[in-house]
Amino acid sequence: MFRIRHIEIFHAVMQAGTVKGAADTLHITQPAASRLLQQAEQSIGVPLFERVRGRLVPTVEAQRLFPDVEDLYAQLDAVRRSAANLGAGSDMVLRVLCVPGLSIEALPQALGRWNSAHPRVRLTLRTLHSRQIADAIVRREADLGFALEPSSHPAAVDQAIGHGHVVCVGRGLPEGPVPLQALAAQPLIDLDPADPIGRQLHSAYDAHALAPPARVTTSSYHAAVELAAQGLGWAVLDHWSARHARRLPALAVRPLAPEVRTTAYALRPRDLPWSTAAQALVEQMRQALA
């Protein structure tokens, strides 16, 4: 059988013209190179070189074999380079999906710390809603996703990376937690019940026999904050997405009472384990959400 080591010695002799030159190229002894060349010839059953005035001259069979070996050797060399680059993250692309609310502050903070250890990893970043992220992960369109609900699909793996709560954002909020009942007395910027946080929020309404009338219903957490800043009402959303409300001096942020809990998840395809770079980003995201 013509093995990879045989390909290496054949290629080296073709390039160097001598066994000694091939041995130097492969960083082995000359006797070891001679044995390898002999094994290569025995494996295919024909001589590959003839000795002429101290040099090895390729036979007709060797000349026919060389173009294929040269192509294979180039591929082998490319594999070696790729393997050497994996540790440093060179030439690697990490495909990341994130819900818009976590992409405003949490993910940039995580990436800022992550970048110092992985400066050569390239990123593609898209913002999608949680269910779209789960679907894309199942289709292997991304390596890593950050969402506000887990995936129920067997082709996806999810991991809880942060626990939070729903808050109220708006002008003129009272001090301390905002009772759920108080939402019914104010113009409300509510979340769509089909949204993961909206679903939890509306479950809390139902549990307390409440039906707050919504002035605006949206699935965009960022838009909810901006609408609250413009005086359209009080907005309800998760506390991670509400972080950028601190930049708007007219707005206050208060927790709800009773507390409505939320969870952030990291998702990946089941048959595509996280790379070292992806694992590191998950850990930095966990810290950013803490």
Q: How far apart are CA 137 and CA 156, in angstroms?
A: 7
**Domain termination residue (choose one: 70, 86, 102):** 86
Same-domain pairing of 152 and 106: yes
Q: In terms of residue numbers, what domain contains 191?
A: 165-261
Three-class secondary structure of residue 224 per DSSP:
helix
**CATH number of the domain where residue 233 is located:** 3.40.190.10
Same-domain pairing of 19 and 78: yes
pLDDT at site 84: 56
172 Cβ contact list (under 8 Å, min separation 6) = 252
Same-domain pairing of 127 and 10: no
User: Tens digits of per-residue pLDDT, 251-276?
Assistant: 899 999 999 999 999 999 988 777 88
Query: Has residue 171 got a pLDDT over 60?
Result: yes
Same-domain pairing of 173 and 204: yes
Number of neighbouring beta carbons within 10 Å of residue 134:
24
Count of the separate structural domains present in the chain? 3
Same-domain pairing of 141 and 62: no
Same-domain pairing of 174 and 254: yes
Same-domain pairing of 244 and 282: no
Alpha helices in 176-275, H assignment, sequence order: 196-207, 221-229
**Domain termination residue (choose one: 53, 86, 119):** 86
- In this structure, the dihedral spanned by the alpha carbons of residues 226, 262, 104 and 218, taken in order and rounded to 10 degrees, is -40
Q: How far apart are CA 168 and CA 178, in angstroms?
A: 7
Place of tokens 């044995």: 35
User: Tens digits of per-residue pLDDT, 121-169?
Assistant: 889 999 998 999 999 999 888 999 999 999 888 889 999 999 999 999 9
Same-domain pairing of 28 and 110: no
Same-domain pairing of 203 and 61: no
Same-domain pairing of 148 and 281: yes
24: its two tokens = 């130097």
Same-domain pairing of 191 and 216: yes
Type of residue at 248: L
pLDDT at site 6: 86
Q: How far apart are CA 124 and CA 185, in angstroms?
A: 44
Same-domain pairing of 279 and 243: no
Please compute the mean of the pLDDT values over residues 78-87 and round it to a whole number. 58
